Chain A
């Protein structure tokens, strides 16, 4: 039993091609194959009645499509979830990723929310070209230094060698400034606030789906202002938008703060970040907002005439969230069974699984299931009815649990006669998460489901918050920091030491400063490294 359970996952560790194919082969062809294990559920047509009953009462796990338990091997679990929950796959060019419909729908939920917020805060969408002359990248010195190891260059086009190499955009500050220079003349043209949804390319050596890929999707906002105060206000405003999104939609209790000088974006004056704690307690930088000062406007000569007729360089910001955020959602909320999606960004919020044993019951059950589906759909709930008869109910339970659907509704013949349904929560395993006898009456059911979805949303945030808080250790010396990091935790302590010291910590412990959080304790502090006075605490952690 244990062996058969581990087999697919073990092989996935050694052979990525098998791990990618295995689940889809199993899923798609299950009806043509013998069941993988005698303990699992057999095909509907031959299923003894007891199997169906069992599946509702016990918490037994089916092997096929199962994932490596998260508690056992986080990384293998992550890759299994990506494959089995049909979120993404590898592209033919190493390090690239196909975002599959279920994963893409999560990205669309992120887009839908942010797009509204961006427009509310006065930004317009537009599109800049993907190809950038190499000379542009070279104009801002620290920018080129930061990005040149990761640039992809087009040298041949239309069958000919190009006169100037073209960079496949790694980010668009340079081309944006080139254009701003032409569009901005006077203070009346400011602030100029634009955003684009685009793909970017960074030639990464070590890749991981969603978290780090050669090509990824993101939004990048770019703004120009007349004063440094306005630019700073904008940079803060946008990190606030991201923070709010993380908490309220993705149920990720990120810590917002400022990056250290070492970790600041290549070409920025200040970088603000939201840092999320993943299930393996590594930090994930989930969004950044940069105050670029006048670095790019000086390099590109982006000038405006102020109200007194003086020519000045504009003050700028840029800010971005990428498909990496999808990886953050997966790694924050999952469990041993698979993915667990916060209702607000789940592509499917409720899955309905109809259950019948006798052919006589089928029509009644399916009828009821379909009217429940229609009622919820009309109420604006994202609902899916899984009425295929190629699969047993038990198989479906496991499949949709693994895909992280927040709520499951079960409807069997007895439920039909009592005009009620069974509702199961994804985040509360077993019997505790299961409530019998909820009325099918649309207004009652709709209110109940909406209420439960809200409850799950806040419960996921609550769990993630206590997990985060339980894994941040306050440290007052370098030794304490080393202990905390070696235990896999985040260390928070006063810091006013040099860049060199910061690099030393990285070398010796593998941890970097994630941020100086906005939320700072009061009182006098001494630097954990030098014992000099320190104004702020920093958070150290290993990161993705």
Chain B
């Protein structure tokens, strides 16, 4: 165990701080290929905890698990034109296999529409086969030139759901249902506030009819980040891949399709939002470990009795379903242990020392606000742990929301917009909803600073009032909606 603290401060050098937290908390490993990372146990378990929630929900919705192949033929991939245009620059091609050159290279999936829909076309025959709902948990590869662990990597893990319906209404309804699940993952599990909304024409998924998303904001970076997306694909892919069904009148019709996904990016967002200068802070509901029990042993105390109390505490809490362990190693001091488990972001520390044994109590120390409380041991330890973890979860969300809200700035003119952008804000602005105007905004902000161009994040479903005569902040034309803007990851 290399006993090193963080040499970077979150507020001073955010990028380096982030990389250091991931390494010191044993979440990531680097490889010789830039942009390909190892997801270590400490992060993998967070992914598994989210998956347990999400799978229970999708089971309830009768969405079936399955796995489609990793490889896709060039022909399939190029079937939907705007789709391949969106993905072409990021595709990795296998050109050699089994010691010889392939006649036709095959691509590693950047996403699976082009792999799954030829099969949908075979499976779906009549209205009785609909809705048809499939989900898979797999890896995908996109050749990113500017990688950041979890946030943007060449290979990442995700779930991708693909569904087909007889009517647009059903598809529309499911888009919202899935988006709500993603909101829950972010807000109720990762304790990260998000905005639900629709992507602009320019930012929607390549080939979709429309894209909805949950958008988070990283105050330290002054950047928005797309948290997860739920797309209505309309009938674009159905046409290209010939996904037809016979309706109740025995006429042929095209299906309406959706696809929706969230990725290991969630973990990166969690780290960026909650971490502090002492390291990672994990929200209890997804935490790899929810509580760490540490014996406080100094000279002249009954060591064995303390260790025994620690073991008993772990057994009690494990039985109650908590993810908990005791750090009983003799080579580190209690202080070193506190430091170590704070770095790893365990939400609750339970200290047991001689003083506690004497008073029949334990000490709780919260990772999120460092609050220390002595808890008398009268049979309600389980309840107190549950209660404390709930309060940590809620407090982490409240604090994160407060910080996020402080970053939101309304801008009605270009000057206000630029000023807010330079202050790293998440900007809510009235605009005309025209694609060239958004392209123009990107162009005009590109030269500003080193942070890259601003773009739209989403048009929130919850729209503030837009009085008649309000003008677009960028074009001066009549505004049609309020949309969030900012620099993004």
Evaluate contact between A130 and B65: CB separation under 8 angstroms: no
Q: Which of B41, B68, B95, B155 contacts A91 (CB 8 A)?
A: B68
**CB neighbors of A among B101-133 (8 A):** 105-106, 108, 115, 118-119, 122-123, 125-126, 128-129
Q: Does B72 contact A (CB under 8 A)?
A: yes
* Stretch of A196-204, A250-258, A430-438, A488-496 lying at the B interface: A196-204
- Count of A-B contacts judged by CB separation below 8 Å: 173
A24 at the interface (CB under 8 A from B): yes
Please name the residue on chain A nearest to B33 by beta carbon: A131
Within 8 A of A (CB), among B445-483: none
Instruction: Tell me which of A20, A28, A159, A214 contacts B71 (CB under 8 A).
Output: A214
Are A104 and B29 interface neighbours, CB within 8 A? no
On whether the beta carbons of B99 and A148 are closer than 8 Å, the reply is yes
Contact residues of A between 212 and 242, Cβ < 8 Å to B:
214-215, 217
CB distance from A70 to the nearest CB of B (A): 26
Interface pairs (26), CB distance under 8 Å: A20-B122, A92-B118, A93-B71, A97-B69, A98-B68, A104-B65, A104-B66, A104-B67, A126-B40, A129-B38, A154-B94, A156-B93, A157-B93, A157-B143, A158-B92, A158-B144, A158-B145, A168-B94, A168-B108, A178-B32, A183-B29, A198-B139, A199-B139, A205-B98, A214-B71, A215-B70
Complex contact B93–A215 (CB within 8 A): no
What residues make up the interface of B, taking CB atoms closer than 8 Å to A? 1, 29, 31-33, 36-41, 44-45, 48, 64-73, 76, 88-99, 105-106, 108, 115, 118-119, 122-123, 125-126, 128-129, 134, 138-139, 141, 143-145, 154-155, 157, 246, 250, 331
Kindly list chain A residues whose C-beta atoms are within 8 Å of the C-beta of B90. Answer: 158
Shortest CB distance B80–A (Å) = 14
- Residue pair A25, B33 in contact (C-beta under 8 Å): no
Contact of B155 with A131 in the complex, beta carbons under 8 Å: yes
Q: If A124-B41, A129-B36, A157-B92 touch, does A199 touch B70 (CB 8 Å cutoff)?
A: yes
A155 beta carbon closer than 8 Å to chain B: yes
**Is A130 a contact of B139 with CB atoms below 8 Å?**
yes
Chain A minimum-CB-distance residue to B134: A101
Q: Determine if B98 and A150 form an interchain contact, defined as CB atoms under 8 angstroms apart.
A: yes
Which of B29, B48, B154, B246 has the most chain A CB atoms inside 10 A of its CB? B29
Given the known A-B contacts A108-B65, A153-B94, are A21 and B33 also in contact in the complex, defined by CB atoms under 8 Å? no
Q: How many residues of A contact B (CB 8 A)?
A: 65
How far is the CB of A215 from the nearest CB of chain B, in Å? 5
In contact, B39 and A136 (Cβ under 8 angstroms): no
Q: Which 10 A-B pairs have the closest CB atoms?
A: A158-B143, A96-B69, A91-B69, A101-B64, A129-B36, A124-B41, A127-B39, A203-B98, A28-B125, A203-B97
Which residues does chain B contribute within 8 Å of A105, judged by CB atoms? Answer: 65
Is A156 a contact of B92 with CB atoms below 8 Å?
Answer: yes
CA distance A229 to B39 in the complex (A): 29
**Assembled-state Cα–Cα distance A125/B31 (Å):** 18
Closest to B65 in A: A104
Per the bound structure, the CA–CA distance linking A175 and B31 in Å amounts to 8
Contact with B along A90-110 (1 / 0, CB 8 A): 011100111111011101100
Question: What residues of chain A have their CB less than 8 Å away from a CB belonging to chain B?
Answer: 20-21, 24-25, 28-29, 31-32, 89, 91-93, 96-101, 103-105, 107-108, 124-133, 136, 148-159, 165-166, 168, 175, 178-179, 182-183, 188, 194, 198-199, 201, 203, 205, 214-215, 217, 390
Known: A92-B115, A153-B97, A205-B98. A194 touches B41 (CB 8 A): yes
Residues of B near A201 (CB, < 8 A) are 70-71
Secondary structure of the B contact surface, majority rule: mixed
Beta-carbon nearest neighbor of B144 in chain A: A158
For the complex, give the distance between the alpha carbons of A105 and B38 in Å: 27
**C-alpha spacing A65/B72, complex, angstroms:** 30
- With both chains docked as a complex, state the minimum distance between the C-beta of A304 and any C-beta of chain B, in angstroms: 14
B96 touches A153 (CB 8 A): yes
A444 to chain B, nearest CB (A): 29
For the complex, give the distance between the alpha carbons of A89 and B120 in Å.
12
Of the candidates B73, B128, B134, the one whose C-beta lies within 8 Å of that of A92 is B73
Report chain A residues within 8 Å CB of B99. Answer: 148-149, 151
* Most A CB within 10 A of own CB, among B31, B37, B44, B154: B31
Cα(A131)–Cα(B33), bound, Å: 8
Instruction: Known A126-B44, A129-B36, A183-B29; judge A98-B129 contact (CB<8 A).
Output: no
Q: Which residues of A contact B44 (CB under 8 A)?
A: 124-127
Closest to B47 in A: A127
Q: Can you add 14 more A-B contacts, CB < 8 Å, to A100-B66, A158-B90? A: A21-B122, A24-B125, A25-B125, A32-B126, A92-B115, A103-B66, A126-B38, A126-B41, A128-B38, A129-B33, A130-B108, A131-B92, A153-B96, A199-B139
Complex Cα distance, B145 from A91, in Å, reads 30
Q: What is the CA–CA distance of A129 and B108 in the complex, to the nearest angstrom?
A: 13
Residue from B33, B91, B96, B126 with most neighbouring chain A CB atoms (10 Å): B33
Q: How far is the CA of A390 from the CA of B128 in the complex (A)?
A: 10
Contact A166 B143 (CB under 8 A): no
Contact present for A158 and B89 (CB under 8 Å): yes
- Closest chain B residue to A204, Cβ basis: B98
Contact between chains at B70 and A96 (CB < 8 Å): yes
Chain A residues near B106 (CB-CB < 8 A): 93
Nearest CB of B to A129, in Å = 4
Report the bound CA distance from A87 to B62 in whole Å: 18
- Residue pair A215, B98 in contact (C-beta under 8 Å): no
Residues on A with beta carbons closer than 8 Å to the beta carbon of B33: 129, 131-133, 166
Q: Which residue of B lies closest to A202 (CB)?
A: B98
Task: Output the least CB separation between B334 and chain A (Å).
Answer: 19
For residue A133, which residues in chain B have a CB less than 8 angstroms away from its CB? 32-33
Shortest Cβ gap from A334 to chain B (Å)? 22
- Tell me the bound Cα distance from A188 to B157 in angstroms: 31
Chain B residues with CB under 8 Å of A124's CB are 41, 44-45
Find out whether the CB atom of A156 lies under 8 angstroms from the CB atom of B89: no
Q: In the complex, which residue of chain B has the Cβ closest to the Cβ of A180?
A: B29
